[in-house]
Structure formats: C-alpha cells, structure tokens
Structure 1
Amino acid sequence: MDAKKIINQILEEKGKITDVYFVACGGSLVDLYPVSYFIQGESKTIHSMYYTSKEFVISAPKTLTKNSITIVCSHSGNTPEAIEAAKLAKSLGSYVIVFTNNEKSKINSDSFNVIVYPWGDEISVQDEPMGESYALMNELLKAQEDYCEYEKMKDGLSKIDGVIRKAVQVEKDSAVSFADKYSKEPFLYIVGSGASFSQAYGFSICSLMEMQWINCGYIHSAEFFHGPFEVLDKDVLYILLMNEGRTRVMDERVLKFLKKYGSKYAVIDTRNFGIDIIDKDVVDYFNPFVFYKMACLYREELAKVKGHPTSVRRYMGVVEY
C-alpha cells in the first residue's frame, strides 16, 4: 500500500478533509478504534468517530459528506452490514477505503479503494488494518496540516514488530500460569485506557466471550472509580492492561486499588516489553498493537487448558441470526 499516494489522490479529488469515520464490526472495529483515537488526539483540522457498521447504516452522521473519508474493515469481506455501510458512505459523497483479507469477497468493488491485506503470525503489523490505517492517517495529517510528529509515527511503525516479539517472549510464562490458575473462573473483567481501551473491549468480546465462552466485561481505567470498583472483592478476577504514555496514570491508579482491595488480578504492562524505544510523544498510539497480541497469547493458553479450540462456535456462522 502506498499511503502517501492514496492520500494525495483523496486530497486532489476532495480538497480539505473535515471528518474521518471508521466503520466495522467486532474484531475489525477493535483494529480501527485506536486510529480514530489518534486523529482525535493529534489533528487540528479533522474530526473522527468510530461506528459499528449497523449503527452507521441506521444512523449515519450528518457530517458524512464529500469532505469526509470513511474507512470500512471487513476481514471476510462478506459482512452484510459492512458492505451496506460502504455503499451508504459512497452514496453520500464520502471517499471510501475498504480493508479486507478476501480478494474474492463481495466488498471488493470498483466503487471503493479496496486494500486487500495479508494475515498470519508472520505478517508485519504494518501490513494489517491497524498499521495501514495509522500510515494513511499519518500521511493525511502531514499533507493537510504539516503534522509535527509525522516522522515519529513512521519510526514507531517501523519498530513495533520488534516490541511485539519481545512481549510474546516475556509474557509467555505469565500467560501459561494465568491459564493454569484461572481457567475455571466463571467471570472476569478487562481494564484499560486510552487507545488501548479498544483492546480491553476486544480482549473481552472476541478473545474470551466469542472464542472461549467466558463471561467477561470491559472497563475504562478512569471509569473504574465511577461505579465498577464497587464489585471488587477478593474473589473477582481482573486483567489490567498497563499503557506506556500519557494515560498510564489512570492505569496505575487502578493497580494501586487492586493491590489494596483485591487478590485475583493479572497485569500486562507494555513498559516491560521495551516499548520505550518508540518516542514518548507518540507511544500512546502503539500500546494497542502489543495488547492485541497479548490477547491472542492468553486466549491460546486458556484454550489449551480448557480443551476449547478458539475456532469453535455455537452460533456465529452456525445458526441464522
């Protein structure tokens, strides 16, 4: 993918971009949330929002116009509501970029700029939807407003694969221990903040609820103290995702409380994986890459202990819904 070429083409066709919408379902939406967060935190001229595909179709924003970009992701390329969302955005004048892993899918249409991405354990995250979306938006901010952290974002994208590899090595034993100790727990919570709140969400609904049939909730680190902490006791299990960057202070506050009043919790801390090789001015946006891989690691170890393959489903793709 030539991100700069795509952005130059969009700006030549559309002029100034005022809004970017990220639209997907489930795990694909998890991939796009951090990039929306990036625009909200860094852009002076562009507003951004993420939508689950069906809600986008039912209640499209009034600012969805010719001066907007809509990025739709469907891994299979055949998700009906994602296809509908892309068509709707196009009909309203938005420039539509589609990510899919399936070149032969229904969403691969000449109506959109379609990016077919590879998938697998050996693929660089730069070539996956989150990495490619970051690259696109980094180019957009550079072209439209001369984004001052442009080079730092590019450098971070070039380094994050190495951080992820180290994270898997460092955290492997902890994931094995967690699975051995807590595989029979009936419920747990995932807590996270910043761009990584997406990974608390994804870890919960995809890795644990969908793939392991474990009841699980997700909580924002700041919101933990505005209601959810009332259910904390010695028998409730938590996983805390500890960011490096500006939002870390919120995660540290949760950890302090867990240590004082809880007993069942695991902490996954990107600081332990050498993420500080990424510049502190942009490191906030790279934590989610690591936490996604950690969710994969933990669910695989749980699957081994529980004897529940991550591919098994009761409803998804099995029954009509």
Structure 2
Amino acid sequence: MLKFDEELFLKLVEKEGLAFKGQIEEIVDSICQKGYSNIFLIGAGGTIAMMYPYEYILKSNSTIDVHAEIAAEFMVMNHRHFSKNSVCIFTSVSGTTQETVAAAEFCKERGATTLALVAEPNTPLTEVVDYCITTGSEKHSFDTFFMLLYMVIFRFMHNKNEFPQYEQFIREVSLLPQAILNAVKAFDKKAEEFAIRHKDTDYHMMVGSGNLWGNTYSYAMCILEEMQWIHAKSIHAAEFFHGTLELVLEDTSVILLKGEDETRPLMDRVERFAEKITSQLTVIDTKNFEMPGISEEFRKHFSVSINWAVLSRISVYLERERNHPLELRRYYRKVEY
C-alpha cells in the first residue's frame, strides 16, 4: 500500500500503544481517588475534533459531566462549570500547539488536574501538565491517541461503576490495531479510486453524526481544507435538512461517514435524500468492515478508529493524484496571525 508501513503501524499502535494501559489506569485511578467534579476535553483543530467522539460516548453512556471545548474560546468564555475540581484532558502531536499549551497553562494555574497525550517528548505541553503519556512518535499518532483515549474515558466510567464490561472492553481494545489494519487493506483500492475520480473536484460536503461527527469535522477542515486546499463543508446529519440540502446538485460530491451508534438513522435519512439527487455520493460505512473478536456492542465505539484509518488512505492518494504534499502550507505556522 502507498505510504503505509504495516510493520511500523503494528509496532507503534499495537505493541507500544497498548503498553500504556497500566500507566493510564494508575493515572485515572489516582484522579478518581482524589475526586473530581467534571471532565473537560480541550483541543484546537484536529485535536478538538478528536475529543468529540469521547464527549459523545460519555454523554450517551455515562452520568459524568463532560465538556468538549475549543481551547482559545474556553480561555475567554468564563466557563461556569470549570473549577479547580475539573479534570482537563489534552492531546497534541507536536506538543507545541499554541492554543493547547496556553489552555493547559490556564487550567493548571487555576488548580485543575491536567492530563495530556503527546507524541513528541520534552515539549511545552509535556512540561505543563500534571500527568502526561508520551508516545514518542508522530507516525500513526491519531490511531494511537484514539486507542489511548478509549482506555482513559472508559476507565473513568468503570471507576464510577457505570461500565462493568471494562475488562472485556480493554481486551477488545487490544484487538483494534489488527482490525484497523484489516480495514485499511480492504478499503485501499476504493480510496485510490476516490482520489482518481475526485482529483479535480473543488468542493465536498462531508456529513456525519454521533461519534463520527468529530472525524467529519476534522477531515473536512484539517485534511481537505488545510492539507489539500479543497473547499469543504462538514455538516451534521441532524442539521443537513436545515439549509445545506438546498446546495446539493446532480454533480455535488457528498461524502457520508456512517457509524454504528444510535444516530445511524439520521445518516440513513441523508443517504436516502442524496442518492436521489447526486451521482457523486460516497458512503463510507464502518458496518462494511470486519472487526474479528470485537463484540457487537463495542463496534459503535471502535468505529471512530476504523473510520479515521480508512479516511487516511484517501489522503495519501489525493496527495499523489493532485501532486499536493500533505505537509504543504501557505499560512499555518508560516506567518504571524
């Protein structure tokens, strides 16, 4: 597969990623023993998008009070639920994202408990927070972060006596890297075909819901807009029929990210509409991917990882077909703003 090292993926995500289980449990258990009032999931750009699935999971499976907040807005909004008893969780590949580091400092100064997942060691974010898991590599960092966040969030739920299936769930987390690899291989040809067909498409609608809303938001903004300079709009399936539907024409690219949680009927409704109008409908459905050994009840959670991994295959083929490196920027971290 183009730009995919299977051995490196398994090393970083399966072997090294799973090795953090004990450390994560110790951190979360320590926080729970001390006591906390709520959880804030804080990020910027791709990392706030990464938090939305876990906010959804907690809201729909737990009574833990949770808030996913954009770092820059969080620091100026005087959030009335935030206090020294809050737990604030951050992720960053580089450990240098300006807004994320500033938000971590903001929370730490006010006495809140701070925890970060960071790829690069010895960076500003690693030095600010109370607890830090450093994975040590930018390669496959999102795949690893997603897996570690499952461990973090479901440990909090377990400690609140809201998730008795925790041990089974964690055993199945260990099967996730192989499920991701299988999905990537199964989807690779379709990803290439999509990139060839849409190399000159100048606008995409991306629709998602539930625990895939974050991926929808992130892929439209961070990949299509930032990394490929393609106009894109992320639309929540629940809001699609309140405006956006009027822009769908017979040649409009509409990409549906279908998961397996409670919001799937919302996506079905959009699909029924779109397939009547446009000839450029793409449906990426996690139900189409096998997850050997993973329980039916947990598939809806793991769809976040599966979906992100297969979307990443589209990225590398778009890069090739459009001759546009994913690292190329006009402004981001290039100019003052």
Same-fold call, TM cutoff 0.5:
yes
Matching residue of 1:7:
28
Corresponding residue for 1:35?
54
d(CA) in 1 for partners of 2:194 and 2:142?
27
Residue 3 (structure 2) aligns with: none
Alignment of 1:131-280 (within 5 A): 131-275=147-291, 277-280=293-296
Give the stretch that moved more between structures: 215-224 or 87-96.
Answer: 87-96
| Higher mean C-alpha deviation, range 68-77 or range 115-124 | 115-124
Mapped pair 1:26 → 2:45: yes
Task: Indicate conservation of the 8 Å contact 1:189/1:216, yes or no.
Answer: yes
Looking at structure 2, the residues matched to 60 and 152 of structure 1 have their Cα atoms a distance apart, in angstroms, of 40
CA offset at residue 253 of structure 1?
Answer: 1.7
| More off after superposition, 70-79 vs 212-221 | 70-79
Aligned residues: 316
1:75 maps to what in 2?
A: 93
In the alignment, the residues of structure 1 paired with residue 161 and residue 70 of structure 2 have an alpha-carbon distance, to the nearest angstrom, of 28
Tell me, yes or no, if the aligned pair for 2:39 and 2:65 is still in contact at 8 Å: yes
Tell me how far 1:200 sits from its aligned partner. 0.6
Q: 1:48 to 1:123 in 2, by over 3 A?
A: closer
Q: Which of residues 312, 317, 320 in structure 1 aligns to 2:333?
A: 317
The aligned residue for residue 293 of structure 1 is 309
Give me the identity figure in percent.
27
CA positional deviation for 1:276? 7.6
What is the TM-score when the length of structure 1 is the normalising length?
0.92
* Contact preservation (8 Å) 1:183, 1:306: yes
SS at the partner of 1:148?
coil
Tell me, what secondary structure is at the counterpart of 1:72? strand
8 Å contact kept, 2:116–2:129: no
Letter in 2 for 1:309: P
Contact 1:192 1:251 in 2 (8 A): yes
SS of the counterpart of 2:257?
strand
After the TM superposition, which residues 50-129 of structure 1 pair with which residues of structure 2 at under 5 Å, given as runs? Answer: 50-109=68-127, 111-119=129-137, 125=143, 128-129=144-145
State the SS of the aligned residue for 2:334. coil
Do 2:259 and 2:303's aligned partners in 1 also have CA atoms closer than 8 Å? yes
- Runs of 4+ with deviation above 4 angstroms: 120-124
Separation in 2 of the partners of 1:146 and 1:193? 24
Note if contact 2:48-2:70 (Cα within 8 Å) is conserved in structure 1: yes
* In structure 2, C-alpha distance between the alignment counterparts of 1:95 and 1:277, rounded to whole Å: 36
The residue that corresponds to 2:9 in the other structure is none
TM-score by length of 2: 0.88
Given the superposition, is the C-alpha separation of residues 60 and 133 from structure 1 closer, same or farther in structure 2, using an over 3 Å criterion? farther
Over aligned residues, Cα RMSD in angstroms?
A: 1.9
State the alpha-carbon separation in 1 of the partners of residues 32 and 198 from structure 2.
51
CA contact (8 A) 1:239 1:265 kept: yes
Q: Distance in 1 between matches of 2:73 and 2:207?
A: 25
* CA–CA distance in structure 2, aligned partners of residues 206 and 123 of structure 1: 15
* Counterparts of 2:142 and 2:96, CA distance in 1: 24
Residues in 2 aligned to 1:53 and 1:87: alpha-carbon distance in whole angstroms: 11
Residues 251, 174 of structure 1: CA spacing in aligned structure 2 closer, same or farther, 3 A cutoff?
same
Q: Is the 8 A contact 1:156 1:286 kept in 2?
A: no
Q: Secondary structure at the match of 1:319?
A: coil
Deviates more, 1:90-99 or 1:150-159: 150-159
In the alignment, structure 1 segments of 5+ residues that lack a partner are none
Q: After superposition, what is the alpha-carbon deviation per residue over 1:100-128, rounded to whole angstroms, capped at 9, x for unaligned?
A: 11212112226521221243557794xx2
Query: Structure 2: any 5+ residue segments left out of the alignment?
Result: 1-19
Q: 2:208·2:237 contact (CA, 8 Å) conserved in 1?
A: yes
1:98·1:114 contact (CA, 8 Å) conserved in 2? Answer: yes
Q: CA deviation at 1:60?
A: 4.1
**In 2, Cα distance between equivalents of 1:26 and 1:123:** 15
